[in-house]
Amino acid sequence: MFSQKREITYNLHFNNSEKSSLITIKEENKMLFLEYKLIDSISSDLNKDKKYNRILRKIEKLSFKAENLKLIENHLYQLNVIKEKYIFYKSDSILVPISENEIFYNDFNNLFNTHVDILKNKKKTRIVLDSQRSIQTILKSNDDIKIIPMMSPDEKSHPLLISFLKNSLNLYREQKQNNFLSKEYIYNY
């Protein structure tokens, strides 16, 4: 089980704000490494990146129909990979021994063992009036990548993912007891 390379990344974005954050939970040698990154700035060179602009044009040409969603998700993932080269962060991290926090580790495992349609909450029809917040969750296990976009998510719309996000933030708050994770970056999570 520990030979797998598994990680979960939450990319929190708030429209009309440059305040965004990235939270990554990686499994490493009987530990979970949690890294919290708050966007400090984005280089203007991003807009000059040819590959980035080419992918943006591809997305613009696609209609948001069900048959295109997987392709759009993949393009968005590629955009985020490119964007990472141009983002400057303030960051902090914690290590969580699995033996000392088995409940958190079980929740980590459950996300990988839950079908992606359940994580995306495809069964429930939901109308979003406030799309000011979006979270893209990426689950990586070896070479398998699952991307779960969420608009204005909460514990009712995406219970497993939001509960795990909140627990990840609370672990940091318990260990560090500082104001690094301010609401302007993480909303009310």
CA distance 52 to 81: 9
Query: Contact, 4 vs 142, CB < 8 A?
Result: yes
**Residue 15 pLDDT level (bands cut at 50, 70, 90):** low
Q: What is the pTM of this model?
A: 0.83
Does the residue 137 lie in any domain?
yes
- ∠ at Cα 161 (165, 18), nearest 5°? 55
Q: Which of 114, 121, 119 is nearest to 137 (CA)?
A: 119
The tens digit of pLDDT for each residue in 27-41 reads 998 999 999 999 888
Residue 163 in any domain: the answer is: yes
Q: Is residue 65 part of a domain?
A: no
In terms of residue numbers, what domain contains 177? Answer: 6-43+86-186
Query: For the segment 130-176, what is each residue's pLDDT rounded down to a tens digit?
Result: 556 788 899 999 888 898 888 888 888 899 999 999 999 999 999 99
What is the total count of domains within the chain? 1
- Residue 78 DSSP symbol: H
Evaluate whether residue 20 is within a structural domain: yes
The CATH number for 165's domain is 3.30.1560
Residue 78 lies in a domain: no
Residue 74 falls inside a structural domain: no
Q: Which two tokens stand for residue 169?
A: 């933030």
For residues 104 and 32, is the Cβ–Cβ distance under 8 A? yes
Inter-residue contact 130 to 152 (CB < 8 Å)? yes
Instruction: Tell me 66's DSSP state.
Output: G
Closest CA to 30 of 94, 84, 85, 105: 105
Query: In this structure, is residue 73 part of a structural domain?
Result: no
